[in-house]
Amino acid sequence: MNRAEQTSAPSLSGGCAMELGVLVYRLYRALTYSASPFLHLHMRWRRLRGLEHSRRWPERFGHPSAVRPPGYLVWFHAVSLGEGMAAIPVIRRCNEMKPEMTILMTTTTVSAFEVIKKQLPVGVLHQFAPLDTPVAIDRFLGYWKPNAIVIMENELWPNLIMSASQLRIPLALLNARMSTKSFKRWSSPLLLPLASLLLSKFSLIAPLSTLQGIHYQLLQAPPFVINFSGDLKYVVNKFYVSSGTSESIRDLKAELSDMKVWIASSLHRGEEEGVHNLLLQSHPDSVVIIVPRHPHHGHQIAQKLRNDGQSVALRSRNEKLTSKKTNIYVVDTLGELREFYGVAPIAVIGGSFFPELTGHNVSEAAAAGCAVITGCHVGHFSHMVKAMQQENPLSITQVSSELELKEAVELLMSNPEILEARRRASKEVYESLSSCIISNVWNLLNLHIFRGK
């Protein structure tokens, strides 16, 4: 973002801004209250489509499905899988430091729940997050009575924040980030007073980068609540609980042992095209493992590649790499990406090759010791890419075209020494950047939120 964008948030006098923020919030509250019947119908429709849990969907309206234990309870809220996995290391540290504390975690998506439930420590409760309507939020807070609330990344829900503040519940925003688009929206004359009002209710805001900290300052968050701790997505792999590499992945790794393998992960529509065909001309024994961002796109990708004359194996169907004829393996399952990073020495991280995309977490591949390649459109993860490059330029390679991507992968396939140097660099940089983050976060939470309790 340029300097003009960074300073684009208009300013209002404190009292005027606060009054306008309260007015905008009252309007929001009235609208969400009025929309509640329609949201109920919408959630029923989502349930029929399989987008909400078939039995637990009433939790989205604040109806509990578990008993609240007595004592101190902290509510961790994360919307989707990425935010949820970033919260897991913090939850584990809280369990270690305060075992008497009850932790309640909420997520929004069913797909996130299916993966995260295997990672939660014993005793941690899970519910689906309530919608941000007055009735749902009041019902949820009235039943669970959290003593503190920790929100992950970028969730500024007015009814949740204002209701928690009225009940004097301390609020924390961890790994706080805001896209350029969201920042511009919250900076508008109508929403800036609301943003200022909401951010004033937090006791702790921990941005994941300096630029993000500037965003929150320009949105008039109190300077004394902004504290830096590091990006939690670096440490997800350190605390990831694996059930062990599956037999099928071990078999696949053995099957690929004599072949040149690379993985293209978190791909969005259109990113799967082109490069592997070019590589086959110089490396006919090469295999690419394609992991789409959304698993349900895997079948469509496989069908399109087959129509183009490619031989493709689909993981969900347990299809095998038959002799050396199949050179594309599509992983259309959820929660296995970390295991597949252990299969391929070269990782190309998608969501970064088209201007409208904003990148994905490159540290997971680095943690597995892959040589990491990504595109130029890394958005949310630009701070991570920059930090890795500053630590060691060999740790991550950025490319700006299909030809550059082909040349980068081919260089690594053709030069074992260069490949090994890049793999070692990415692993060492990951270890360096991920150290101390959890301790920093715990200290901030204990000081500003738990307050030594």
Asked if the structure places residue 134 within a domain, the reply is yes
Asked whether residue 56 falls in the same domain as residue 190, the answer is: yes
Residue 256 lies in a domain: yes
- Regarding whether 360 and 263 lie in a shared domain, the answer is yes
Return the SS3 of 368.
coil
Q: Does residue 96 sit within a domain?
A: yes
Same domain? For 286 and 205 the reply is no
Q: Which residue range(s) make up the domain with 257?
A: 247-434
Handedness of CA 133, 135, 136, 137 (dihedral sign): positive
pLDDT over threshold 80, residue 1: no
Is 439 within a domain? no
Note the pLDDT of residue 81.
Answer: 86
Specify the pLDDT at position 201.
97
What is the CATH classification number for the domain harbouring 149? 3.40.50.11720
Whether 238 and 439 have beta carbons less than 8 Å apart is answered as: no
Hey, what are 255's tokens?
């099957």
Are 252 and 182 contained in the same domain? no
Using the predicted structure, report yes or no on whether residue 280 has a pLDDT greater than 80: no
Q: Does any domain span residue 428?
A: yes
Among 166, 193, 228, where does a domain finish?
228
Domain co-membership, 128 together with 268: no
Q: How many domains does the chain contain in total?
A: 2
pLDDT tens track for 263-275? 999 999 888 776 6
Same domain, 265 and 292: yes
pLDDT value at residue 269: 85
Q: Are residues 210 and 309 in the same domain?
A: no
Q: Residue 164 pLDDT > 50, yes or no?
A: yes
Flag whether 370 is in a domain.
yes
Residues 6+ positions from 162 with CB-CB distance below 8 Å: 25, 29, 198, 201
Single pTM value for the model: 0.83
Task: Report pLDDT for 7.
Answer: 44
Angle at 259 between CA 342 and CA 401, to 5 degrees: 75
How far from the centroid of its chain's Cα atoms is residue 75's Cα? 18
Q: Which of 181, 198, 228 is the last residue of a domain?
A: 228
Do residues 134 and 42 share a domain?
Answer: yes
Q: Residues 282, 189: one domain? A: no
Maximum CA pair distance of the chain?
73
The answer as to whether 377 is a domain residue is yes
| Cα angle for residues 29, 31, 37 (degrees, 5° grid) | 110
Tell me if 72 is assigned to some domain: yes
Measured distance CA(333)–CA(107) in Å, rounded:
20
Q: Are residues 207 and 253 in the same domain?
A: no
Domain end among 228, 258, 281: 228
Residue 361 structure tokens:
């977490």
* Cβ proximity of 169 and 160 under 8 Å: no
Span 232-250, average pLDDT: 77
Active site residues: 83
Residue 3: its pLDDT value, please? 40
Average predicted confidence (pLDDT) for the chain:
90
Is residue 141 pLDDT above 50, yes or no?
yes
Query: Tens digits of per-residue pLDDT, 282-331?
Result: 787 789 999 998 888 888 888 888 888 888 899 988 887 765 578 889 99
pLDDT confidence tier of residue 50, bands split at 50, 70 and 90: confident
Q: What is the CATH number of the domain that holds 401?
A: 3.40.50.2000
- Encoded tokens for 109: 């998506």
Beta bridge partners of 151: 77, 173
Looking at the structure, do residues 119 and 253 belong to the same domain, yes or no? no
Tell whether 282 and 166 lie within a shared domain: no
